[in-house]
């Protein structure tokens, strides 16, 4: 299950291993298209990659800190460092290929 994270626990939840953070909002149509893909990849790759979601309306500080201006934005971190940032809808095959580079 994809974990919901907040401004408060963002750093502690994304500082180890490979982590994909889905920045989203309930009103965002493309976010609703991206969400099932993130959930499917969590089912398939959850033992190698941690998957998390952050609602930008409820957690604006982290989004502001990283300059998230459009959603969905998918941020991939490895050992606490941002290695990829994808803006807009990303197909499953593309996202899986990108994640495989870091595991």
What is d(CA 4, CA 51) in angstroms, rounded to the nearest whole number?
A: 9
Catalogue the active-site residues.
Answer: 28, 31
Reading the block at residue 27, the tokens are 């009103």
What is d(CA 48, CA 29) in angstroms, rounded to the nearest whole number?
A: 28
């Amino acid at each position: 299950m994809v974990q919901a994270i907040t401004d408060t626990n963002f750093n502690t939840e994304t500082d180890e291993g490979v982590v994909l953070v889905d920045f989203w909002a309930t009103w965002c149509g493309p976010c609703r298209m991206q969400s099932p893909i993130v959930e499917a990849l969590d089912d398939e790759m959850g033992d190698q990659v941690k998957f998390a979601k952050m609602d930008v309306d409820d957690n604006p500080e982290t989004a502001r800190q990283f300059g998230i201006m459009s959603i969905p934005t998918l941020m991939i971190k490895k050992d606490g460092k941002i290695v990829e940032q994808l803006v807009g809808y990303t197909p499953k095959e593309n996202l899986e290929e990108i994640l495989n580079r870091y595991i």
